Amino acid sequence: MYSEKVMDHFTNPRNMGEIENPSGVGTVGNAKCGDIMRIYFDIDENQVIQDVKFKTFGCGAAVATSSMATELVKGKTIYEALQVTNKAVMEALDGLPPVKVHCSLLAEEAIHAALWDYCEKNDIKIEGLTKPKNDISEEEEEEEY
Amino acid sequence: MEEKRFIYLDHAATTPAREEVVEAMLPYFTKEFGNPSSVYTFSQKNKAVITGCRETIANSLNCKSNEIYFTAGGTESDNWALKATAKAYATKGKHIITTKIEHHAILHTAKELEGDGFEITYLDVDENGIVKLEQLKEAIRPDTILISVMFANNEIGSIQPIKEIGVIAKENGIIFHTDAVQAYGQVPIDVDEYNIDMLSASGHKLNGPKGIGFLYIRTGLKLRSFVHGGAQERSRRAGTENVPGIVGLAKAVEIAFATMKERTDAEIVMRDYVIDRVLSEVPYARLNGHRTKRLPNNVNISFQFIEGESLLIMLDMAGICASSGSACTSGSLDPSHVLLAIGLPHEIAHGSLRLTVGDENTMEEMDYVVGHIKEIVQRLRDMSPLYEDFMKKNK
């Protein structure tokens, strides 16, 4: 069902954990659908992501996409990190089963949510970066699929 | 490195066919291949063989052999029971009562009938997954033609009050069907004592072959054919008989009923051992289904803060085959309808694990499995933002 890369990132997730006093943190997804991802950033004064950690509640693909997403943004500037798409995450994992594509979207959203948090704290405006819509800290909305 | 283990704990999904079953079947593929409908002696022998198999099965349910109709399995039997009853009794009424925890073979057939103008009442279950008899009584209307309640649930193992439901059905002159795919061969069933009018069963759940099952239909019910064609199965289910399958099924039934007490006693010991150890050694875990009114082989436990598919993959890597009610394993975004029906919130339903033991399992395997469950649950919780939030809140 899963590629070798997905299994590798699921069983040996990279950057799993949390960062104390992170520069930015974002949580997306909801428990109702069975996927929640949280990404922490440690971003330096040059806006470079020095460290990144994640925690994920979800299936094998959710864990693997989180792990891969953190690998792809580590060491990048916040602007470069914003360019990391769900497609890039999927490609880096040698693909995902069709029913699991939403996991990669969630990974992209988690990066954006953590970047939004950082930007908001530091009063930075980036075009195209909007407030995350399904952060679990907000009121849970009924979503239609 | 530890030798790779293989521990199969998904007997509710399917079971291995017994050696004796396969041996009994083999001659009917090659030497004894005759079509039972043919006139010559060679084929007529097979007709007699089928009659013998039908008797074996009839004895297991305390019914007559001409009340057993072979099908391709539990799903076909369920489809037949519902659709044929609906068609035959539509002039009497168009109301059917079933439950929210039925197998999809019943639920999706019921949905289909709704499209044909039938009204279906889906009964709730209590927190243990047991149908509420008062609600059943209240649901009965003058136009109710059928009550279909599963004997025991496939996911959480809860055994329904079939005898009481049978009485209620009989008192009200309503046909009573039960999907006994999980219960048949696990618990004694007497169709007269329980007032069961129709019963679905499947071969591969009791160490028989796949692709064979049967529907018991009480004499007097005017059900029509569901599969049209030849005159097989008293013209009620056309198609050349699956002779090897029927022989294998009967052999499996014979062994399952001869060994039932001893086999299920051993299963109960393993079941209870796993339940007791997991609940006492893993925090934030809950048993789904009734503690005692449950199938001898069924363990279903929800672990808070983790998701079932991750758990299954990690168990698989340890050589353990199990199943879950999480959305990711159902191919949809919703977790199991059964777990939702017993009132579990979505996030807890996502973290469920079903282990169903069989007679080839051992206590040593149970220790191995519990050890791995503990380790894997902790590992996934360490990854879980829900667990992180919970622990911070409760510091």
User: Residue A144: its pLDDT value, please?
Assistant: 36
CA B149 to CA B157: how far, in whole Å? 14
pLDDT confidence tier of residue A99, bands split at 50, 70 and 90: confident
The residue that leads in pLDDT, B2 or B145, is: B145
Domain limits of chain A?
Answer: 4-135
For B220-241, the pLDDT digits (tens) are 998 888 899 999 999 999 999 9
- Residues of chain B with Cβ-Cβ distance to A16 below 8 Å are 382-383
User: Residue A31: its pLDDT value, please?
Assistant: 78
CB A61 within 8 A of CB A96: yes
Inter-chain residue contact B326 with A13, CB threshold 8 Å: no
DSSP code, position B344: -
- Residues of chain A with Cβ-Cβ distance to B333 below 8 Å are 33-34, 145
113-142 in A: which are within 8 Å (CB) of B?
none
For B368-380, the pLDDT digits (tens) are 999 999 999 999 9
Closest CB to B333: pick one of A27, A55, A145.
Answer: A145
Q: Determine the residue among A1, A57, A99, A142 to mutate to test chain B binding: the one whose Cβ has the most chain B Cβ atoms within 10 Å.
A: A57
CA A90 to CA B17: how far, in whole Å? 40
For B8-29, the pLDDT digits (tens) are 999 999 999 999 999 999 999 9
Shortest distance, CA A101 to any CA of chain B (angstroms): 12
Establish if A97 touches chain B: CB-CB under 8 angstroms: no
The count of CB pairs under 8 A between chains A and B is 70
CATH topology of domain A4-135: Sufe protein. Chain: A (3.90.1010)
pLDDT higher than 60, residue A49: yes
pLDDT confidence tier of residue B117, bands split at 50, 70 and 90: very high
CA B21 to CA B204: how far, in whole Å? 11
Shortest distance, CA B309 to any CA of chain A (angstroms): 5
pLDDT higher than 90, residue A19: yes
For A77-98, the pLDDT digits (tens) are 999 999 999 999 999 999 999 8
User: Residue B239: its pLDDT value, please?
Assistant: 95
| Burial degree of B147 (CB within 10 A; 0-12, 13-18, 19+) | buried
Query: How is the beta sheet containing B68-71 ordered, strand by strand?
Result: B68-71, B213-217, B198-202, B175-179, B144-148, B95-99, B119-123
DSSP code, position A98: G
For B75-99, the pLDDT digits (tens) are 999 999 999 999 999 999 999 999 9
Looking at this predicted complex, what is its ipTM?
0.90
Inter-chain residue contact B327 with A33, CB threshold 8 Å: yes
CB B68 within 8 A of CB B216: yes
3-state helix vs strand vs coil in chain A, percent to 5: 40, 20, 40
CB B99 within 8 A of CB B242: no
339-358 in B: which are within 8 Å (CB) of A?
346-347, 350
| Burial degree of B112 (CB within 10 A; 0-12, 13-18, 19+) | middle
B208: tokens are: 């028989």
pLDDT higher than 50, residue A139: no
Classify A103 as helix, strand or coil: helix
For B309-361, the pLDDT digits (tens) are 999 999 999 999 999 987 666 566 678 999 999 999 998 999 999 999 999 99
Inter-chain residue contact B385 with A55, CB threshold 8 Å: yes
pLDDT higher than 60, residue A119: yes
B250: tokens are: 């009967």
Average pLDDT over residues B28-34: 97
- Residues of chain A with Cβ-Cβ distance to B382 below 8 Å are 16
Search chain B and give the residue with CA nearest A31: B347
pTM of the complete model: 0.93
Number of Cβ atoms within 10 Å of the Cβ of B52: 13
pLDDT higher than 60, residue A138: no
Q: Which residues pair with B355 in a beta bridge?
A: B299
CB B187 within 8 A of CB B295: yes
- Residues of chain B with Cβ-Cβ distance to A36 below 8 Å are 384-386
CA neighbours closer than 13 Å in the CB half-sphere of residue B123: 25
- Residues of chain B with Cβ-Cβ distance to A57 below 8 Å are 305-307, 347, 383-387
pLDDT confidence tier of residue A30, bands split at 50, 70 and 90: confident
CB B349 within 8 A of CB B286: no
Q: Determine the residue among A32, A96, A100, A136 to mutate to test chain B binding: the one whose Cβ has the most chain B Cβ atoms within 10 Å.
A: A32
Search chain B and give the residue with CA nearest A102: B333
Inter-chain residue contact B383 with A37, CB threshold 8 Å: no
DSSP A22-88: -SEEEEEEETTTTEEEEEEEEE-TTSBEEEEEEEEES-HHHHHHHHHHHHHHTT-BHHHHHT--HHH
Average pLDDT over residues B130-153: 98
For B186-207, the pLDDT digits (tens) are 999 999 999 999 999 999 999 9
Closest CB to B305: pick one of A57, A59, A60.
Answer: A57
Closest CA to A18 of A37, A36, A40, A48: A40
Inter-chain residue contact B385 with A145, CB threshold 8 Å: no
Q: Determine the residue among B313, B353, B389 to mutate to test chain A binding: the one whose Cβ has the most chain A Cβ atoms within 10 Å.
A: B313
CA A77 to CA A4: how far, in whole Å? 29
User: Taking the alpha carbons of B230, B234, B236, B237 in that order, is the dihedral positive or negative?
Assistant: negative
DSSP B52-71: HHHHHHHHHHTS-GGGEEEE
pLDDT higher than 90, residue B158: yes
pLDDT confidence tier of residue A130, bands split at 50, 70 and 90: confident
Number of Cβ atoms within 10 Å of the Cβ of B119: 14
